[in-house]
Amino acid sequence: MAVGYLDVFPHPARGGPEAPMAFEGLDFYNVDSHFTDEERMVRDLVRNWTEDNVIPIIEEHCRNATFPMHLVAQLGDLGLLGMNLDGYGCAGMSNVAYGLACQELERGDSGMRSFVSVQGSLCMFPIWKYGTDEQRQKYLPDMATGKLIGCFGLTEPDFGSNPGGLVTKAVDDGDSYVLNGAKMWITNGSIADLAIVWAKLVPPGGTLADGRIHGFIVEKGDAGFTAPQMHGKHSLRASVTSELVFDDVRIPKNRLLPNVSGLRGPFGCLDNARYGIAWGALGAAMACYDSARNYALSRIQFGKPIAGFQLVQNKLAWMLREITKGQLLALHLGRMKDDGSLFPEQISLCKMNNVDIALQIARVARDIHGANGVLDEYPVMRHAANLESVYTYEGTHDIHNLILGRWITGIQAFQ
């Protein structure tokens, strides 16, 4: 038999119908060669852990709308909680390593990456960055192991894209602050031991309009604080989403985050979490690409694998192209974050691009699976549904468009 192109370059990604079906990760441009040994080790560790511990159980959790709580301590043991922070029991890894961990977790499910994003970037980070040393000592070591779970309350029923208008209010009352208001759509809310709550601190005798945004640490068990779980989500079903309700909650003064005020506080946290999402979305996209490729190679129609039809190859080639571009964006973004040269609009571009392409890839992958694509035997519909939330949270796609529009023109078009 003549030696063909596929024999000369026998990379599995170019294999025929007998190609290995196990997940190998997509790396068309050998991005791998730009990672350090430590980053590769983290990536492989989290990839294998996800393969063994998340993928076998996640459809069941999605069906039942439950979060796999038993995995929290393992995330801590793996060093993934607050992993890019230094000290206080945190792993102190590079931002690229953090990104790779997000990628591998989200290949399992966006809910796993969400848990880690919220714990590390949205709850541990503000304590680490804006808190006192006493607060850091009190919370961070136990949060790094998963013994304590955190959440982040910014969004309110009437203030989503426009958090500057938030109406949750803290009033100075001598030795404590009194908190009133409500948050909505809060990941981990009902399972959290503590919440970072962003509220307007009103000066004595002042009104809400005089208030400036501050971060407060609210603990589970604080009188007047409840966190009812939200139900009925078609997306991120294996993740807990909650309201936070504050009814005259007294917060001791040593639970104010003293080192920041104004929107730059929550936005500083969001910079980290949006960065992680930019990588995470690639994991969901890779899972969908992998499933679509395997399915196309094995599904026979009109006497041959559907992978042999030009239209299907066009879809797979487009996925390969977009994932490869997304990987290069994420890697460069991570290196800039590690060397301190990154500015927030650069994160917006990567978050919106990588989530957008991941969502489109999930939809096209569903199409390639035909009717089977709507079954939970395949991961594609779950990823597509999850990515609808990822497209909206941490700044909607269009809010990131407007952030870039402001950077380009100098004119804000939010209002």
Closest approach of ligand TGC to the CB of residue 415, in Å: 8
Query: Which entry of ligand TGC, ligand FAD, none binds 117, CB below 5 to 8 A by partner kind?
Result: ligand TGC
Closest approach of ligand TGC to the CB of residue 356, in Å: 16
Q: Identify which of residues 94 and 235 has a Cβ nearer to ligand TGC in the complex.
A: 235
Q: Identify which of residues 222 and 271 has a Cβ nearer to ligand TGC in the complex.
A: 271
For residue 98 the two structure tokens come to: 């953090």
- For residue 199, give the H/E element and its range: strand 194-202
Beta bridge partners of 218: 195
Beta carbons within 10 angstroms of residue 218's beta carbon: 24
C-alpha distances in Å from residue 69, one per residue of 167, 212, 354: 32, 36, 28
Among 392, 404, 406, 407, binds ligand FAD (CB under 6 A): 392
Query: Measured at CB, which residue is nearest to ligand FAD?
Result: 160
Residues in the site for ligand TGC, rule: CB under 6 A?
A: 114, 117-118, 152, 154-155, 161-164, 187, 262-264, 267-268, 270-271, 273, 344, 393-395, 399, 403, 414
Query: Which entry of ligand TGC, ligand FAD, none binds 270, CB below 5 to 8 A by partner kind?
Result: ligand TGC
Binding mask 147-186 for ligand FAD (x = CB under 6 A): -----xxxx----xx-----------------------xx
Site residues for ligand FAD, 230-249, by CB under 6 A, read: 236, 241
Transcribe 244-272 into DSSP letters. Answer: EEEEEEEEEGGGB-TT--STHHHHHHHHH
Closest approach of ligand TGC to the CB of residue 410, in Å: 13
Among 96, 196, 393, 400, binds ligand FAD (CB under 6 A): 393
Report the C-alpha dihedral over residues 256, 260, 262, 266, rounded to 10 degrees. -80
Biggest CA-to-CA distance, the chain = 89
Residue position matching structure tokens 């109406």: 167
Closest approach of ligand FAD to the CB of residue 84, in Å: 19
Closest approach of ligand FAD to the CB of residue 405, in Å: 10
Among 389, 391, 400, 403, binds ligand FAD (CB under 6 A): 389
Query: Which entry of ligand FAD, ligand TGC, none binds 392, CB below 5 to 8 A by partner kind?
Result: ligand FAD
On whether the CB atoms of residues 69 and 191 are closer than 8 A, the answer is yes
Q: Identify which of residues 60 and 398 has a Cβ nearer to ligand FAD in the complex.
A: 398
On whether the CB atoms of residues 273 and 117 are closer than 8 A, the answer is yes
On whether the CB atoms of residues 139 and 84 are closer than 8 A, the answer is no
Residue 356, SS3? helix
Transcribe 285-307 into DSSP letters. Answer: HHHHHHHHHHHHHH-EETTEEGG
Q: Identify which of residues 186 and 319 has a Cβ nearer to ligand FAD in the complex.
A: 186
Q: Identify which of residues 58 and 270 has a Cβ nearer to ligand TGC in the complex.
A: 270
Query: Which entry of ligand FAD, ligand TGC, none binds 403, CB below 5 to 8 A by partner kind?
Result: ligand TGC
Pairing of strands 212-219, 241-252: unpaired
Phi/psi for 170 (5° steps) reads -120, 130
Query: Which entry of ligand TGC, ligand FAD, none binds 53, CB below 5 to 8 A by partner kind?
Result: none
Q: Identify which of residues 138 and 237 has a Cβ nearer to ligand TGC in the complex.
A: 237
> In whole angstroms, what is the distance from residue 186 CA to residue 225 CA?
14
Q: Identify which of residues 102 and 381 has a Cβ nearer to ligand TGC in the complex.
A: 102
Q: Note if 394 is an active site residue.
A: yes
Start-end of H helices in 121-263: 125-130, 133-145
Query: Which entry of ligand TGC, ligand FAD, none binds 344, CB below 5 to 8 A by partner kind?
Result: ligand TGC
> In whole angstroms, what is the distance from residue 261 CA to residue 257 CA?
9
Closest approach of ligand TGC to the CB of residue 293, in Å: 28
C-alpha distances in Å from residue 396, one per residue of 140, 298, 318: 30, 37, 24
> In whole angstroms, what is the distance from residue 167 CA to residue 256 CA?
17
Which residues are near ligand FAD by CB under 6 A?
Answer: 118, 152-155, 160-161, 185-187, 236, 241, 389, 392-394, 396, 398-399, 402, 414
- Residues designated as active site: 394
